[in-house]
């Protein structure tokens, strides 16, 4: 197994912070912590080359460092790419994550790095890159390198990688269904007792926190504003032209309401399997209130109603997918000069 | 309130000349059972078969699975509100045929991908008696009386479903009445001192369980709680013994994956809370039955009232909450849990993983920082069971028979007894 290793200027022996602008350099064989890793790697494996790059250079010239690393990995015909360990060095973690991700997608070989959980590189790259939990102290170097070597060998040999706690890497956030010894009821009772006694417990699914999105300032008077209607209740024209599914939707649609005084029952249907939509089928205006908005348009309460409504199926959608749909919808509305949106959810 | 389960072990089920229990062998006079089921004039026929552990047999689509049970005369009625007038259950002696099941197959369930109305009454749930799926299923080692009641063609769908419900309960009682005069193999006692009791300084624990999700409304004649269809229901204190003893059955429930009346009778969570109580680790003070709603105002009201009852009527320090199948019930459960936490009642919730992208961040439909104790079962969309070719298919109709005979693999959600919303499941989503 041929390994290419990436280090920053400090661990690569170039120097401290004053050498952080050093451009990348390729050296034959192992360097710095690579010497220890080389001993730990399984028989027949070796570090064939080491790329050393200054932290500032790597962060400020990401395209350059990615191209440099990709080229060297290909030249060396590497079977495994290792970066770090970076511990809690932020710029080092960010560049290690970036080069690992690039090598994985460009050369399709396994990649491993190591960081502390607080390293900003973790949040950005944990989903794509296997990151060994290094803690923050370089005193753990040997233990961290052992885990890197084990994981690297398993990945390179296509062996099954065990769960994060057993292998010592930071969870990537993927779910795999497994049969376990205890029933859900037994686990519930145990967790309840732990919580009641004030003992620690781990939720089986982590509670996700969302970055706050500031409410934009309304700069137009409402009486002059163009208002759009958006729904995740799955209202679509009859025959469902965009094939919105009843759940897990990856698509959304924009449908004209220009000239319509209200939505007619015979023109629309609902693509949504997660709520009782009989009322919407009877009167689509109760989900997408075109009738009321037209009245407000006539009375001058609002400037105008945007000429189309946007619709998707908000039913068990993956978050990443929902974020994309939200961004695409916002972009379309922004380009159309919409000032405000009424979002109806079911 | 003291309930004694008189447990009779069943190791063999056969059709024979007389309906009787001899030791652990249950013999069924098939014609006598047929007459019992067909006293419901909405039904024109019923197919009756036995499916045993390990047999090369597949049955579906399953309407419900019930454990055969019958109340000792004088102890109360069997399935009150369904088989007769409403009278209380949860006390006295109930005879249980452990190791046996009545499995009802829906003869009117169409085969393909269908709209909401026609799918009520089970969503392609299949019982496997052989292979890996049977080994993993809670039902794989039971002796099943599988029945397929068939209604007259002019009977409306809601009445057909009602007839299936009545037939399922009738058959369960019919079988278990064979045990009435016999000595059980063992007895299990369930008794709580109730919310007023002290039981030392032990933490007081309770259960709040949803018994229907009204994002899919119920029929006027649908039986769920003492015969009620639970429309407009508010949270109701329901003694755990009532829950186990025939007061509650599952709804027809489009999407009721992993819910069977069998696991109300043998409720895994009520069982665990009783275990904590009987071993002196906690004081189990009671249970609350509730629903999830399709109206936001009702959801808020029910969540508040569920929490209020737990706090002020039961005096609970901690509660376990479960939801009915689906996503909307998830929201109601989390809101109820949030309101409990706000009152100082600690909560643990049972969710199901709904992440279609297998990402942990997508697994919860709602995130509330106060609701931080989460147990999750998985519907196992990333797990496939390879199905053997089977010699015998017990299907509701020929369309379903064709589908079932062609199956080569299934996910856990489509199989009875593997994914479960009542706490019985051993499928867990592990974070990698």
Three-state DSSP string of chain B: CEEEEEEEECCEEEECCCCEEECCEEEECHHHHHHHHCCCCCEEEEEEEEECCCCCEEEECEEEEECCEEECCCCCCCCECCCECCCCCCCEEEEEEECEEEEEECCCCCCCCCCHHHHCCCCCCEEECCHHHHHHCCCCCCEEEEEEEEECCCCCHHHHHHHHHHHHHHHHHHHHHHHCCCCCCEEEEEECCCCCCCCCCCCEEEEEEEEEECCCCCCCCCCCECCECCCCCCCEECCHHHHHCCCECCCCCCCCCCCCCHHHHCCHHHHHHHHHHHCCCCEEEEEEEEEECCCHHHHHHHHHHHHHHHHHHCCCCEEEEECCCCCHHHHHHHHHHHHHHHCCCEEEEEEEECCCCCEHHHCCCCCCCCCCCEEEEECCCCCCEECCCCCEEEECCHHHHHHHHCCCEECHHHECCCCCCCCCCCEEEEEC
Which residues of B are less than 8 Å from A287 in CB distance?
A: none
How many Å lie between the alpha carbon of B335 and the closest alpha carbon of chain A?
15
Mutate to test the interface with B, among A175, A196, A232, A324 (most CBs of B within 10 A): A175
Q: Chain A closest CA to B196's CA: distance in Å?
A: 20
Average pLDDT estimate for A185-213:
92
Q: Which residues pair with A313 in a beta bridge?
A: A233
The most confident of A88-97, A310-319, B351-360, by mean pLDDT: A88-97
Nearest to A274 among B215, B430, B431 (CB): B215
Torsion angle (degrees, nearest 10) of CA B81, B85, B89, B92:
-150
| C-alpha span between A344 and A286 (Å, rounded) | 10
Closest chain A residue by Cα to residue B321: A188
Q: What integer pLDDT is reported at residue B115 of this predicted model?
A: 38
Cβ contacts (< 8 Å) between B363 and chain A: which residues? 175, 205
Residues of B in contact with A175 (CB under 8 A): 353, 355, 358-360, 363, 378, 382, 429-432
Residue B255 confidence (pLDDT) = 54
Tell me the CA distances in angstroms from B295 to A315, B232, B329, one per residue in order: 17, 10, 12
Contact A32, A12 (CB under 8 A): yes
**A31 vs A19: CA distance, rounded Å:** 17
Task: Read off the tokens for A191.
Answer: 């967790």
**In chain A, which among 96-135 make CB contacts under 8 A with chain B?**
127
Quote the pLDDT of residue B399: 86
Token pair for residue B272?
Answer: 């665990």
Q: Average of pLDDT values for A267-271?
A: 95
Residue B216 banded pLDDT, cuts 50, 70, 90? confident
pLDDT of residue B194: 75
The predicted complex's ipTM stands at: 0.96
Residue A16, preceding peptide bond in cis (omega within 30° of 0): no
Beta pairing partners, A113: A83, A131
Residue A178 contacts B where some CB pair is shorter than 8 Å: yes
Task: Give the number of C-alpha atoms closer than 13 A to the C-alpha of residue A258, restricted to the C-beta side.
Answer: 3
Give which of B411, B403, B404, B405 is closest to B386, Cα–Cα: B411
Pick among B356, B364, B422 to test the A interface (most A CBs inside 10 A): B356
User: A69 to each of A5, A25, A60, B169, B306, how far by Cα in Å?
Assistant: 10, 10, 15, 70, 59
Q: What is the pLDDT of residues B41-80, one digit of tens each?
A: 999 999 999 999 999 999 988 999 999 999 999 999 999 9
pLDDT of res. A226: 97
Q: Chain B residue closest to A172 (CA)?
A: B432
Distance CA(A258)–CA(A275), nearest Å, equals 28
- Average pLDDT estimate for A66-92: 96
**pLDDT at residue number B124:** 64
User: How far, in Å, CA of B110 to CA of B94, rounded?
Assistant: 36
**pLDDT greater than 80 at residue B355:** no
Phi, psi (rounded to 5 degrees) for B380: 65, 45
More confident residue, A223 or B352: A223
Interatomic CA distance for residues A272 and A314, integer angstroms: 8
Residue A326 near chain B (CB below 8 Å)? no
A200 vs B contacts (CB less than 8 Å): none
Interface test with B, best of A126, A154, A188, A208 (most B CBs within 10 A): A188
Percent of chain A with pLDDT over 70: 100
What pTM did the predictor assign? 0.87
Distance of alpha carbon B70 from the chain centroid: 17
CB within 8 Å of chain A, chain B residues 182-221 = 203, 205, 214-217
Alpha carbon distance A29, A50 (integer Å): 6
- Which phi and psi (to 5°) does residue A140 adopt? -85, 10
In eight-state DSSP terms, residue A172 is -
**pLDDT tens per residue across span B107-138:** 877 654 443 444 554 456 899 999 999 999 99
Among the residue ranges A26-40, A140-154, B112-126, B296-310, the one predicted with the least confidence is B112-126
Torsion-angle region of A234 (φ positive above 0: left; ψ -120 to 50: alpha; else: beta):
left
Bridge-based pairing state of the strands B236-237 and B283-292? antiparallel
B207 Cα to chain A: minimum distance (Å): 11
Residues 6+ apart with CB under 8 A from B159: B42, B151, B221
CA distance A150 to chain B (A): 17
Say if A316 is an interface residue toward chain B (CB within 8 Å): yes
CB contact under 8 A, B359 and A175: yes
Which of residues 21 through 50 in chain B touch A, CB cutoff 8 A? none
Residue A75 has what pLDDT?
Answer: 96
> Residue A318: what pLDDT?
82
Q: Which of A177, A188, A196 sits opposite B269 (nearest CB)?
A: A188
Residue-wise pLDDT for B296-347, tens only, equals 999 999 999 999 999 999 999 999 999 998 788 999 999 999 999 999 999 9
pLDDT at B254 over 80: no
Q: B274, B189 in Cβ contact below 8 A?
A: no
Give the helix/strand (H/E) hosting A189. helix A184-197
CA-to-CA distance for B377 and B425, rounded, in angstroms? 7
Which H helix or E strand runs over A147?
helix A141-156
pLDDT mean over B357-373: 86
Burial class of B143 by CB neighbour count within 10 A (0 to 12, 13 to 18, 19+) = buried
Best-predicted range by mean pLDDT (A161-165, B152-156, B206-210, B322-326): B206-210
User: Is pLDDT of B144 > 50?
Assistant: yes
Average pLDDT over residues B130-149: 97
Cα B244–Cα B245–Cα B246 angle in degrees, nearest 5: 105
Contact: B275, A196; criterion CB under 8 Å? no
Alpha-carbon span B102 to B118, nearest angstrom? 24
**pLDDT at residue B303, rounded to an integer:** 98
HEC string for B340-406: HHHCCCEEEEEEEECCCCCEHHHCCCCCCCCCCCEEEEECCCCCCEECCCCCEEEECCHHHHHHHHC
- How far is B13 from chain A, CA to nearest CA, in Å? 28
Confidence of residue B382 (pLDDT cuts 50, 70, 90): confident
Query: Using CB atoms and an 8 Å cut-off, which of residues 234-273 of chain A contact chain B?
Result: 247-248, 273
Q: How far apart are CA B366 and CA B292, in angstroms?
A: 15
What is the distance between the alpha carbons of residues A346 and B296, in angstroms, rounded to a whole number?
Answer: 10
Q: What is the mean pLDDT of chain B?
A: 92
Angle, helix A33-40 to helix A141-156, in steps of 10 degrees: 50
Q: Which secondary-structure segment (H or E) carries A17? A: none
Q: What's the whole-number mean pLDDT along residues A194-214?
A: 90
Residues of chain A in contact with residue B359, where contact means CB-CB under 8 angstroms, are 127, 173-175, 318-320
Contact B357 A318 (CB under 8 A): yes
Contact A268, A240 (CB under 8 A): no
The b/e string for A304-326 (b: 16+ C-beta within 10 A; e otherwise) is: ebbebbbbbbbbbbbbebeeebb
């Amino acid at each position: 197994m041929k390994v290419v290793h990436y280090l920053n200027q400090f661990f690569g022996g170039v120097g401290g912070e004053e050498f952080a602008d050093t451009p990348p350099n390729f050296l034959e064989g192992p360097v710095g912590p690579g010497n220890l890793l080389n001993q730990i790697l399984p028989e027949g494996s070796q570090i064939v080359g080491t790329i050393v790059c200054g932290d500032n250079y790597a962060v400020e010239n990401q395209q350059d460092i990615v191209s440099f690393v990709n080229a060297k990995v290909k030249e060396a015909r590497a079977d495994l790419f290792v970066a770090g360990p970076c511990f809690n060095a932020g710029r080092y973690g960010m560049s290690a994550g970036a080069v690992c991700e690039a090598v994985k997608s460009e050369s399709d070989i396994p990649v491993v790095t190591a960081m502390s959980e607080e390293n900003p590189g973790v949040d950005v790259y944990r989903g794509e890159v296997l990151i060994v939990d290094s803690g923050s102290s370089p005193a753990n170097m040997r233990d961290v390198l052992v885990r890197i070597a084990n994981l690297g060998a398993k990945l390179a040999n296509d062996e099954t990688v065990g769960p994060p706690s057993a292998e010592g890497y930071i969870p990537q956030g993927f779910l795999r269904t497994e049969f376990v010894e205890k029933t859900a009821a037994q686990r519930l009772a145990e967790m309840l007792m732990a919580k009641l006694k004030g003992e620690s417990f781990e939720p089986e699914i982590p509670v996700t926190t969302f970055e706050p999105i500031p409410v934009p300032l309304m700069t137009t008077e409402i009486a002059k504003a163009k208002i759009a209607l958006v729904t995740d209740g799955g209202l679509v024209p009859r025959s469902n032209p965009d094939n919105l599914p009843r759940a897990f939707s990856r698509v959304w649609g924009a449908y004209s309401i220009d000239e319509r005084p209200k939505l007619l029952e015979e023109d629309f249907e609902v693509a949504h399997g997660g709520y009782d939509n009989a009322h919407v089928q009877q009167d689509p205006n109760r989900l997408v209130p075109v009738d009321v908005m037209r009245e407000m348009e006539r009375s001058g309460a609002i400037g105008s109603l945007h000429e189309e409504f946007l619709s998707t199926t908000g039913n068990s959608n993956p978050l990443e997918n929902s974020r994309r749909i939200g961004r695409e919808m916002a972009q379309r509305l922004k380009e159309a000069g919409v000032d405000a949106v009424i979002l109806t959810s079911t | 309130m003291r309930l004694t389960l008189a447990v009779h072990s069943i190791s063999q089920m056969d059709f024979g000349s007389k309906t009787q229990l001899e030791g652990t062998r249950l013999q069924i006079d098939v014609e006598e059972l047929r007459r019992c089921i067909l006293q419901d004039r909405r039904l024109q026929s019923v197919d009756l078969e036995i499916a045993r552990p390990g047999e090369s047999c597949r049955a579906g689509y399953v309407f419900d699975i019930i454990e055969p049970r019958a109340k000792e005369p004088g102890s109360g009625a069997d399935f009150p509100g369904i088989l007769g007038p409403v009278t209380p259950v949860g006390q006295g002696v109930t005879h249980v045929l452990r190791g046996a099941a009545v499995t009802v197959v829906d003869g009117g369930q169409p085969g393909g991908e269908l709209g909401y109305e026609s799918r009520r009454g089970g969503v392609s749930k299949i019982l496997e008696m052989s292979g890996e799926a049977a080994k993993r299923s809670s039902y794989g080692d039971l002796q099943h009386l599988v029945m397929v009641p068939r209604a007259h063609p002019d009977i409306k769908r809601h009445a057909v479903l009602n007839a299936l419900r009545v037939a399922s309960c009738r058959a369960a009682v019919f079988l278990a009445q064979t045990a009435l005069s016999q000595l059980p193999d063992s007895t299990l006692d369930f008794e709580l001192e109730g919310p007023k009791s002290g039981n030392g300084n032990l933490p007081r624990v309770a259960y709040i369980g949803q018994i229907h999700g009204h994002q899919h409304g119920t029929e006027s004649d649908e039986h769920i709680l003492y015969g009620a269809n639970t429309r407009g229901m508010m949270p109701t204190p329901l003694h755990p013994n009532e829950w186990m003893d025939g007061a509650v059955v599952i709804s027809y429930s489009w999407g009721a994956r992993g819910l069977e009346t069998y696991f109300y009778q043998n409720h895994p969570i009520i069982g665990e809370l009783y275990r904590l109580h009987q071993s002196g680790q906690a004081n189990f003070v009671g249970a609350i039955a509730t629903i999830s709603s399709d109206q936001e105002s009702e959801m808020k009201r029910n969540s508040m009232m569920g929490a209020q009852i737990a706090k002020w009527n039961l005096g609970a320090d901690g509660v376990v909450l479960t939801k009915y199948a689906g996503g909307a019930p998830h929201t109601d459960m989390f809101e109820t849990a949030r309101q409990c936490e706000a009152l100082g009642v600690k909560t643990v919730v049972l969710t199901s993983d709904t992440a279609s992208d297998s990402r942990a961040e997508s697994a919860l439909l709602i995130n509330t920082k106060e609701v931080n104790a989460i147990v999750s079962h998985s519907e196992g969309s990333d797990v496939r069971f390879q199905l053997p070719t089977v010699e015998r298919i017990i299907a509701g109709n020929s369309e379903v028979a064709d589908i079932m005979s062609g199956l080569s693999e299934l996910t856990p959600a489509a199989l009875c007894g593997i994914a479960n919303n009542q706490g019985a499941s051993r499928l867990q989503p592990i974070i990698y």
